[in-house]
Chain A
Amino acid sequence: MTTQLKDEAPLGRIVVITSGKGGVGKTTSAAAISAGLAQQGYKTVVIDFDVGLRNLDMIMGCERRVVFDFINVIQGDARLKQALIKDKRLDTLFILPTSQTRDKDALTQEGVEAVLNELKEEFDYIICDSPAGIERGAQLAMYFADEAVVVTNPEVSSVRDSDRVLGLLSSKTQRAEKGDSDPVKARVLLTRHDQGRIDRGEMMTVDDVLEILAVPLLGIIPESQAVLRASNVGTPVILDEPSSAQTAYKDAVSRLLGDDIEMRIESERKPGLFQRLFGRSA
């Protein structure tokens, strides 16, 4: 996909990637989705809200380029322009890392709002990578959101936590409190999906999860070895070698942009004997 230049005013749309439960793939998804949007020509910034446990920088592969961070900007120690890291692969993609040394109390609602407002002037998409849990960092990551991607594994504790987060999205956000605007548009991104285990009756199906959560589906990301590989090298899955997870993330990005794409589940292909003997590339 080539990068198209857009002359119109930026969209300034805020999307939170959240889940409640940790380890379900929020940062992986935030990295993949922001890279996917940037790849489609939308000027995109991805913000790490997990103060004290910075990790988005490693997943994006820019950990050695962090000088100033989100907290420095909020506290007036640095300008936003200084803290934004321009991606080396896509010129429409920027990363705003968080602080590794402060804690969540360094985030203030006024500070976050000021930074988001400044970003809205320049970016089409502002992706907020929420920390796990439902405390301050997670609340502020979702507070100003227009849309939410609730990352969920087909597993009981993850689905339960997602349900809790969906409740917060419909009550503890600016859109919910204002009352006069549309509610936050929330969709589920089902990750670590394993068709084999579903077929054997060991895993809840997509329909099971959707029936419980009662929100639309943004995409189904299959369990894939490509995710660990991509994180090892610091490349968002969408920019790494082709994989089933990459295809699924690309589809999810298209749906986020409003395209009506058929839901397809491409499971990780097991290499055949021939492939195993002669090596494979993905």
Chain B
Amino acid sequence: MSLFGFSLNRRRPKTAQTARDRLQLLLAHERGQGSGTPDYLPQLQNDLIAVIRKYIDVADDEVDIRMERDDDVSSLEINIDLPSAEEKAEKPAKKR
């Protein structure tokens, strides 16, 4: 509410603004990517496993894909558990 032209609730964080920001960010992602972002991830994971298998012997569940979306940056994190020491380990264990 306002009295004498200034808001009496200035100290309260504006949650409506938070709601608006969250929705805008989310919908921009969902609309922009046609059928939606996450749908290609399972296929991406399968393709990655296939490529990695050409060089290293890894099991299906040793590859983990996570995505984090933020205001400016989206990051795709791919973790590959490489087989232990005796099998000559290849270089990058974690790629970002």
Contact = CB atoms under 8 A, between A and B. Distances in A.
A67 B67 contact: yes
A72 B68 contact: no
Contacts of B26: 58, 63-64
A78 B11 contact: no
B8 A279 contact: yes
Contacts of A136: none
Tell me which of A58, A79, A232, A281 has the highest count of chain B C-beta atoms within 10 A of its own C-beta: A232
Contact of A276 (B8, B23, B25, B70): B8
Interface string B41-76: 110010000000000000001001111111000000
Classify chain A's interface size. 20 to 34
Contact of B22 (A82, A234, A277, A278): A234
Interface string A233-254: 1100000000000000000000
A64 B18 contact: no
Interface in B26-45: 26, 30, 35-36, 38-39, 41-42, 45
B93 interface: no
A96 B61 CA distance: 19
Interface string A42-67: 00000000000000001000011111
A40 interface: no
Given A100-B30, A233-B18, A67 B38 contact: yes
Given A72-B41, A233-B15, 9 more contacts: A66-B38, A67-B66, A67-B67, A68-B41, A77-B45, A232-B18, A276-B1, A279-B9, A281-B12
Interface of A: 58, 63-69, 72, 77-79, 82, 99-101, 229, 231-234, 276-279, 281
5 contacts: A63-B22, A229-B15, A231-B19, A233-B15, A277-B3
